[in-house]
Amino acid sequence: MGAHYKTSLDGKMLVAIEQGCLCRLDPHYMQNPNWQQGFAVIHKKKGSDRFYVQPIQIIEGAFLFGGKRFGRPNVDNPAKTPDRA
Determine phi and psi for 76, rounding to 5 degrees. -75, -35
pLDDT of residue 12: 87
Label the pairing between strands 2-7 and 62-65: unpaired
What average pLDDT does the structure give for the chain?
84
pLDDT of residue 36: 92
| DSSP track, 16-84 | EEE--B-S-S--TT-SS----EEEEEEEE-TT-S-EEEEEEEEBTTEEEETTEEEES--SS-GGG-PPP
Low-confidence ranges of the chain (pLDDT < 50): 84-85
pLDDT of residue 49: 83
pLDDT of residue 84: 46
**Degrees, nearest 5: CA angle 47-50-51:** 110
pLDDT of residue 56: 94
